[in-house]
Amino acid sequence: MAYSAPRGTVDILSDQSGKWQQLEQLLRTICANYNVKEMRTPIFEHTELFTRAVGDTTDVVTKEMYSFEDKKGRSITLRPEGTAGIARSYVEHKLYSLPEKLQKYYYMGPMFRYERPQNGRQRQFHQFGVEMLGLESPYTDVEAMVLAVTVVEALGLKDIKLHINSLGDDESRDAYRDALKQHFQPVLNELCYDCNQRFEKNPLRILDCKVDRDHPTMKTAPKTIDYLSESAKAHFDKVCSLLDDLEIDYVVDTNLVRGLDYYSHTVFEVISDDPKLGAGATVGAGGRYNTLISELGGPVVPGVGFAFGMERLMIAMGDEMVEEDGLDVYIMPLGNEAKDLSMQIITMLRANGFTCDMDQCDRGLKGQFKSADRFHAHFSMIIGEDEVQKEVVNMKCNHSKEQTIVPLENIVEFIEKHYEGGHHHE
């Protein structure tokens, strides 16, 4: 039988992993900059965590989860998103009792959703996310949004827009829910099956429907911001004015509701019109959740967070950023004795911090030079029988083409001198 990776999964081959590492490094640097610390939680959790946290009427929970029974019959789910795990861990370890009231975390790693694979949509994909727990302050909402914007700017993503909206507090949402039901009631028979379900269980979600998104009643639907309570309105106004002060571009998108259950107040999406992703693609999304922690058995602790799809970031990044790191030295032995000596030298060079490799295929010079080329080696170190005998190596600088005979004991010194002399590490 011929094996292939399961549908919706991809191999990140070694010619792509450098770009992934670059993205990960940049995200870590930005988070450090914001004093946001990494949290690593399990890839699988008890299924109830997600039904509880994400919401049992959401697409993610009803259709997209990878759930299975383990050998003891417990229902286990591969995490479809990162917030639930962080929230569970926060409650389990009582992190709310730490002296620092505002706890800021980030995570990155694989997530799993059973969806139809297409460009930028996989079954195993990666998210980078941030959660800020402890405060209900609009300053925290804005800090999270600025971090999200910083990420896309640092990656050089073009045609990016920050969309924001407010769902308000419980009071505002009740009023809004009633208004929505009145609005959609007369056209229910024109809406999809899912929307009919949503009408009963969570009418907000109708606005998030991908099937009915062009139905005329979507545009004329009541707007959450017209139903905000006074305090919810004040919160949202403060968010907007802080963004204005920071000169962050945003649009208030009154149809933005987000697919997960736990949101209240501020919700936002980072939307890209980059043609590589297809117009209007969401690269990242998030919002405030004030009841999640208490629903998971913790005290009433508000939070705000967001997640980016890393595959979508990768697509939008293009290839401009990727710089191949070349080798300092590629060692080219000719004959068995030379190979033994190469093994000694390469181990010594690596221990000295140089990046190197050697031929292990017993090829002639021509083939070995090709490898040196492919690895962008600064030096080729040629070791033939003659060199072994004389206890020297032939160092060829692949830039100047200059060749120098160097005694074994002077190799490190030679390379260092050469680099100091204005030649740079490639």
Contact pattern for ligand ATP over residues 121 through 160, marking x by CB under 6 A? xx--x-x---------------------------------
In angstroms, the CA 401 to CA 379 distance is 9
Least distance from ligand ATP to the Cβ atom of residue 84, Å? 11
| CB closer to ligand ATP, 58 vs 140 | 58
Strands of 335-410 (E only): list them. 356-358, 379-383, 392-397, 403-407
Angle at which helices 14-33 and 310-317 pack, to 10 degrees?
A: 110
What tokens does 107 get?
A: 């995570």
Residue type, 145: M
Is 215 a binder of ligand ATP (CB under 6 A)?
no
Least distance from ligand ATP to the Cβ atom of residue 147, Å? 15
Residue type, 168: G
Contact pattern for ligand ATP over residues 80 through 99, marking x by CB under 6 A? -x------------------
Neighbouring C-beta atoms of residue 90, cutoff 10 Å:
25
Q: Which of 198, 265, 312, 418 binds ligand ATP (CB under 6 A)?
A: 312
Least distance from ligand ATP to the Cβ atom of residue 291, Å? 18
| CB closer to ligand ATP, 134 vs 287 | 287
Is 309 a binder of ligand ATP (CB under 6 A)?
yes
Least distance from ligand ATP to the Cβ atom of residue 285, Å? 4
Q: Which of 24, 115, 136, 171 binds ligand ATP (CB under 6 A)?
A: 115
Return the exposure string of 146-179: e unless at least 16 CB atoms fall within 10 Å of the residue's CB, then b.
bbbbebbeebebeebebbbbbbbbeebbebbeeb
What is the footprint of ligand ATP within residues 244-283 (CB under 6 A)?
A: 259, 282-283
Cα-only R_g, the chain: 28
Question: Count of alpha carbons within 13 Å of 373, Cβ hemisphere only?
Answer: 7
Contact pattern for ligand ATP over residues 45 through 84, marking x by CB under 6 A? ------------------------------------x---
| CB closer to ligand ATP, 18 vs 259 | 259
Least distance from ligand ATP to the Cβ atom of residue 405, Å? 55
Is 198 a binder of ligand ATP (CB under 6 A)?
no
Least distance from ligand ATP to the Cβ atom of residue 249, Å? 19
| CB closer to ligand ATP, 265 vs 312 | 312
Q: Which of 207, 285, 293, 334 binds ligand ATP (CB under 6 A)?
A: 285
**42-48 CB contacts, 8 Å cutoff, 24+ apart:** 42/79, 42/85, 43/78, 43/79, 43/109, 43/110, 44/76, 44/77, 44/78, 44/79, 45/76, 45/77, 45/79, 45/84, 45/85, 45/88, 46/74, 46/75, 46/76, 46/77, 47/75, 47/76, 47/77, 48/75
Is 307 a binder of ligand ATP (CB under 6 A)?
yes
C-beta separation of 391 from 379 below 8 A: no
When CB distances to ligand ATP are compared, the closest residue is 309
Q: Which ranges of 320-364 would DSSP assign to H, the alpha helix?
A: 336-351
The count of chain residues that interact with ligand ATP, using the rule CB under 6 A, is 17
| CB closer to ligand ATP, 283 vs 331 | 283
Neighbouring C-beta atoms of residue 395, cutoff 10 Å:
21
Residues forming contacts to ligand ATP in the complex (CB under 6 A) are 81, 113, 115, 120-122, 125, 127, 259, 282-285, 307, 309, 311-312
